[in-house]
Structure 1
């Protein structure tokens, strides 16, 4: 099940940056949400909420440090990945490994709700626009969930039907990284 493509359109590009350290690259993706940090935290950590918007779900609540199994949901081939929550400081900081990637979610209260900053570290610079495009779609879905108007998750090959390629191209141009298209399967 996917969102109705007659009603869903990707939101405007997010505030993004890219930093390099040694042989790794970090996408810095910032988005303002109209919801309290506690509500956003729950969406980031509770398996049922993750399954409603993220490209994965978890075998446990991620709000405490320790090992976890993250199941990537890509069409009909779910893939289990080893993860470790390295830091969990509810409701402001969540950091965990996902395979070789590191995800750091920072939540800061604002007058209007929460400023969410995701720092997603990858090994290959070419992945930065792809990751930005994917998180862009996922966070659009998360925002609908937080607003109480959920739409089905956009993940896997279905993302192509909802603007992933265009977002990937736009983020690639913004970063000055060649658009290499779809990730290798």
Structure 2
């Protein structure tokens, strides 16, 4: 899972303190290499989602800096992917909108949902399709905020399988920053885990 240590990182955080009206998290320092699956763990209130928002330019950086590789592209899946009550798109339409190559169908039982309307999928099925759209798309860095929310044990195992999918030559550059309050899950799927203290 690890990228080439000699290569420049896709993302580097140096003593980042971030928040909104006031600081919420930090200082945090880390780097993400191509091929990494970096887990971000912490209790409620430790600032995990705020740090993701800072990386995605949706939160204020009070001090420190974030360095991105030139041309870096991001895909950010929030805790609850948006889904309208009536959404007459199929799973296949969703993947097409996310520019997922047609030769990369989702693995396992997810492939059974490609021709179903996404407003008729369960919360877990829809969430996993969104995760696959992120992982199989063209983004260099995928940010996943609490992707285990709403997942039963079977779907959680499928999520782990999605994260472990072998990479092709095209997406050798891709990395994942995964936020969760489930430490055991992060340890099972991530190459590294960074812990945020509540008063970091």
TM > 0.5 fold call: no
Indicate the structure (1 or 2) with the bigger Cα radius of gyration.
Answer: 2
Please give the TM-score of this superposition, normalised by the length of structure 2: 0.27
Q: Which has the higher strand share?
A: 1
Q: TM-score, normalised by structure 1?
A: 0.29
